[in-house]
Amino acid sequence: MRSVILKAGATVLTLGTTLASALYVTAHLKNPSAPLQPAVLVSQPGDTVGGVTITPGVRQSDVQPVTSTYAS
Amino acid sequence: MPRNAAVEAHHFEALGTSCSLFGVGVSRTDLVRGEFWVRKLGGRVTRFSDRSELAALNRADGEWADVSPDMEALLREALRAYELSGGLVNAAVLPSMLAIGYTRPLAEGTPIASVAVVHPAPRLVDVLAVRRGRARLERGCGLDLGGVAKGWMADRLAAQLGSNSLANLGGDLYAAGQGPGGGGWPVGFGGKTVMLRDQGAATSSVRKRRWGALHHLIDPRTGLPSNSGLEEVSVVAATACDAEIVAKTALLLGPGVATAFCAAHAQAWRFGR
């Protein structure tokens, strides 16, 4: 008799958990507009002026250069 | 933040080219010591001197050779350059260089233009093995560390000189720190001035070191001087060595792919055709 009660209790608990899970999932639908990954806010390919392309990581200036890169 | 702090400068000829060192809060003695370091290390990594470490490795005939820590680090950098460039920056192009007549420094005379039998360069990762204090190069192969050595040395020299310094070794340069005015080091780049701060720059070109219809920049895919449609590429990147690798790779890729490669690996670039 005791084992039957335990089996019935386990069955009820399982079914109850399953039902509760189904209700919870139904009530908490995934936001379909949620991004899958961080969005790219702005594409910054860099400015090309006079054949020179400079990305935002490099700052231009009108200061007299102390040296330069050159072919050697 | 310093405002137009005094810059100490030192210029000299080494590595077959012009070199310049700059520093804020650096003594002239430090800069001259930097020159000594360049000359000493340059003498060990050149392929033109029979007494250099590189020459010893090149003639080791497939045997393991002892290498200094600097040489070991430089060889590892050459392997990194090979990987980063997809095999285009390949130090194992020495046989091709010799085949086209580039057998001695240009300062000692113009090579005789010739194209002997040339082959594509072997894969560097297949012929060069580096262990702690030792290296092995496959028999019949040869290394020219060329521009990678210049960039690598510029990066290390600037670090040695101090936190606010610039080392320019034949156009391969690294600018460390905030420069004399606090906004970075002003560097000429394709006719413009860019402010570099913990950044490197380099130029790869076929306009120099050329003789007849030949030049020194070998395409390892053919074993012949590059004919990609680009004659000169200048690049700003995180380090001088990275800039050198990206510039040479872009030049070898040619105008079709170079832009995309630079967009992925460089912070600024300029192509000359």
pLDDT digits (tens, 9 = 90+) for A8-42: 999 999 999 999 999 998 888 776 666 666 555 54
Residues B77-135 pLDDT 10s: 999 999 999 999 999 999 999 988 888 888 888 777 666 678 899 999 999 999 999 99
Q: Percentage of residues in chain A with pLDDT exceeding 90?
A: 54
Domains in chain B: ranges and CATH = 7-272 (3.10.520.10)
Cα gap B234→B228, rounded to integer Å: 15
CA distance B201 to chain A (A): 6
Q: By CA distance, what is B268's nearest residue in A?
A: A54
In this prediction, residues B258-265 reach a mean pLDDT of 96
Cα gap B62→B53, rounded to integer Å: 15
Which band of pLDDT confidence, cut at 50, 70 and 90, is reported for residue B234? very high
Reported residue count of chain A is 72
Tokens of B109: 């005379």
Average pLDDT, chain B: 94
* Tokens 């060329």, located at residue: B146
Helices (H), B109-254: 124-127, 146-161, 240-253
Which band of pLDDT confidence, cut at 50, 70 and 90, is reported for residue A43? very low
In this prediction, residues B132-147 reach a mean pLDDT of 96
Amino acid symbol at B99 = A
B61 burial (CB, 10 Å; 0-12 / 13-18 / 19+) is exposed
Tokens of B166: 């610039």
Task: Mutation target for B interface from A55, A64, A70: give the one with most B CBs within 10 A.
Answer: A70
Q: Is residue B182 a contact partner of residue B1, using CB atoms and an 8 Å limit? A: yes
Q: Which of B129, B141, B125, B149 is nearest to B245 (CA)?
A: B149
Position B147 pLDDT exceeds 90:
no
Report CB contact under 8 Å: A68, B268. Answer: no
SS3 B155: helix
Show which of residues 8-67 on chain A sit within 8 Å of chain B, judged by CB atoms.
45-46, 49-55, 57-67
CA distance B181 to chain A (A): 10
Residues B22-64 pLDDT 10s: 999 999 999 999 999 999 999 999 999 999 999 999 999 999 9
The 8 Å CB, 24+ separation contacts for B259-266 are: B259/A53, B262/A53, B262/B233, B262/B235, B263/A45, B263/A46, B263/A53, B265/B84, B265/B237, B266/A55, B266/B235, B266/B236, B266/B237
Buried b (16+ CB within 10 A) or exposed e, B71-99: bbebbebbbbbbebbebbbbbbbbbbbbb
Position B2 pLDDT exceeds 70:
no
What is the complex's ipTM, to 2 decimals?
A: 0.88
Give the pTM. 0.84
Q: Which of B24, B20, B22, B21 is nearest to B6 (CA)?
A: B24
